A and B are shown apart, each in its own frame.
Chain A
């Protein structure tokens, strides 16, 4: 059954944070200000690669109204950040490695003064040769960007006898796939408010996807105990991975502590483009072969990824890509080699899909090309090679068992869109002219589909804590306390809905507390499609203890047997009649001690040693119908269908929103978006040249079919869907373009010139 407002019935709820957001009444963290607040600004390198000869801040400091000017010499702790590999300088000491590198920062009475102060900071640079391509970075004689060289990370995988595999192949296809430097383009750019408190602590109001990680990194930079820092990290105006790493926080924190006054920083869009993370551009070379019947015998992959100047999670993204270039298929033999190189390009980093988008575009492209060689329907070729439920994961690791592969494969075949394709194929085989309304000869229509198997959680070898707390607060509200962040994905709504549906509470009974390191437990990061899944597991663990405590205390107060009571909406009720016996407020007032329950555990992982390999997967199949206009070579997405097998739908609106939103991003990745760089300089510096899809691109039908059934006895519940929708659309569109216009797309975004044809009237 398709998921939409109508089919969701009562489960389609107005999200609690919705009205405040759509009316603009809810302040985001970057809307905040404080009395006596200063404005901070960061001086960034004008060159993609340069040696710093000298820095002088005297003139800037002499400007009236400028309260502090800081450089590397003013960093009390580690002058580095980076979630996994702290190699990103807070302030560069003797060298800048990209156009966004920070050299100094100023705090002043106004933004204009702070900006003026930056102009007065005197930095002498010696320009160095620019490494603007990862393959050039790896070549002999290339300028080395770090002490350990230009290799950020390598990761290889092999199984089976590859040469024998290729020797036995009847069909082999080889292709080089290239993907763009996509920008997250959140509506709210990076920023925050940093307040030195009277008690000596520092409060940080700044978006992030893991408050405790920011706290740890800031403590390291500031050389202070973590407990001296409070991180308020929610609500957020979009992140998509882009605010997972530190951005303005080191500068805001240092300036606030240096001046003893609140400091606000907020990137303009220009600065966000310049300094912010982008999706790793990847070049993926694949050679893949089958036997005469279509069975995949051999698969060789080489991935080259552009890290930009520093690490952040580049290695982890590369590991993810290695796993997902194998994906849902079984190969006789496979070999993946991969490398991520440092360059003087923009910073690459974590981005929704996490390396899966690039990998799946290439992998699915191979299947479509092989199907053409085999003269076989591409969807049938996938069926032949898909993993079976009992099969291990892509890297041979044990994974949580579901029938997701089969479920989404079948669902797509039965979808209205795919049946439309079948019926058109049948008709056009008989008639010479295509059926339907007359269309101009330069409009070509095509259909395509792709398959996605996407891992969730951080994977083996990376600390991945989870957990949460429920408590009955003094005012009678049931507080659900989790260390997650709301960045638009609907996390608050999903948590509320689970508490209503699974616990029987009413919305009015509840208070959701998230994103404040002083009060929440470390539930792990709001990344990797993991938060909803971990909340579900937490609530499952907390249900018996928390409801048990509510009931026991109510039994004591009411003087009735606990078995006759049930905590539900509004308070504790008679289990038989449903009569309200004790409100939560009464219960809170009369309780002898606080009623609370807490759980902590770890995201389930596969019992193997291979770092990053996943245990839980979500599955999706995507079908699209596109139109190619050969006059202009432009592509329009007409209709799309997504089958998603990821366990139960926790929140219908949130689920649909994630798939639709992910798909919108994937459409940008496919047809419009690329942060173009030339010798380390961005050419797309604002949203007038970096083009994300508008409502005009996002027309057409959008069908989402969730498949909720999990195997009997499954303990893990909902799998993640936060990234899934952003993955499969690109290869499906590429195949639809081929179906329409007979041309293979291997580089994204699609170049209209490739599809343009000279008009003819034969």
Chain B
């Protein structure tokens, strides 16, 4: 049996479209034989593990300049999906307006991976660690389906499924102007718990963004939890319990129960369902406890 050696050893074709439209055109033409690539850090691990076959065509989105960069526009910070995690981490704009996202990005993979991996790639992965942070930040995603732009929230994206070929073109984080007369204080928390301290797959990821009055009354609160292969979702029950309240011991106990009930982790051989639930609930409650004026110095 003589196989064609060339066929056997051929590498995939790498295409570098110059525009979003061209990229989408390529994807429409080749369908499942083509895959968009951003940093390729996740794809590479899948090819190596044999969980995904290397396709015939790779469409390298790095060639489309408009997909990179972080800008302020219309009351939002717009992040091009091809912006690397390293660039997100060192962005002054993000540090000022969305430190929660900077914290999240800092906890993804290791240095060398973050230099290649993109925020868009992490979002499209859906269970990426940036996603809970983007949900807590009420981020909006802009997609292009070849003919028009589509918009949805990060929260909607995380729990959706889509079939039509489309391309993520922007990630927008709303930023509110600081009101100098207001006495409210913004707070945020990001926790990723893995099986080691750094460069680790997540078991539980929790992101919180909120606002509290001087006396501790919570005026705004968004809590998202994900981690591992768990689809990130908002912990709406805990939010409802706590909004408008000054969380005391009893209130926090109730919030703990609410997270325990609503957070439905996907397990693997490395941590139990119970451990993940308790971790998520503990971290949410500890973050809220820490931001309360009387505990701030201890937390």
Contact = CB atoms under 8 A, between A and B. Distances in A.
11 contacts: A59-B1, A631-B283, A631-B286, A634-B193, A676-B269, A686-B49, A691-B195, A694-B197, A753-B271, A758-B256, A761-B252
A760 B285 CA distance: 10
A753 B198 contact: no
B199 A694 contact: yes
Interface of A is mostly: loop
8 tightest Cβ-Cβ pairs between the two chains A and B: A761-B249, A696-B197, A696-B198, A631-B282, A753-B275, A438-B298, A759-B282, A691-B196
B19 to A, nearest CB: 35
Q: Which of A116, A120, A689 has the most CB of B within 10 A?
A: A689
B162 interface: no
Contacts of A545: none
B193 A65 contact: no
Interface string A678-704: 100001011011010111110000000
Given A691-B196, A697-B197, A112 B298 contact: no
Interface of B: 1-3, 5, 8-9, 45, 48-49, 110, 193, 195-201, 248-249, 252-253, 256, 269-272, 274-275, 278-279, 281-283, 285-286, 289-290, 297-299
Contacts, number: 101
Nearest to A762: B249
Given A438-B297, A691-B200, A753-B274, A632 B290 contact: no
B286 A759 contact: yes
A689 B270 contact: yes
A112 B285 contact: no
A695 B269 CA distance: 25
Nearest to A695: B198
Contact of A694 (B5, B196, B299): B196
A675 to B, nearest CB: 12
A752 interface: yes
A503 interface: no
Q: Which of A120, A672, A756, A759 has the most CB of B within 10 A?
A: A759
A669 to B, nearest CB: 13
A633 B275 contact: yes
Contacts of B201: 688-689
A761 B272 contact: no
Contact of B282 (A270, A671, A758): A758
Given A59-B1, A442-B286, A753-B274, A113 B249 contact: no
Interface string A280-321: 000000000000000000000000000000000000000000
B23 to A, nearest CB: 29
Contact of B279 (A631, A636, A686, A760): A631
A63 interface: yes
A443 B1 CA distance: 66
Contact of A440 (B45, B197, B271, B299): B299
A110 interface: yes
A441 interface: yes
A176 B53 CA distance: 45
Nearest to B250: A761
A439 interface: yes
Given A441-B298, A683-B269, A672 B1 contact: no
Interface in A690-744: 691, 693-697
A62 B1 contact: yes
Nearest to B282: A631
A697 B196 contact: yes
Contact of A116 (B8, B200, B271): B8
Contacts of A442: 282, 286
A64 B8 CA distance: 11
B298 A761 contact: no
Nearest to B275: A753
Contacts of B299: 440
A411 to B, nearest CB: 30
B278 A756 contact: yes
A62 B2 CA distance: 6
Interface string A632-661: 111010000000000000000000000000
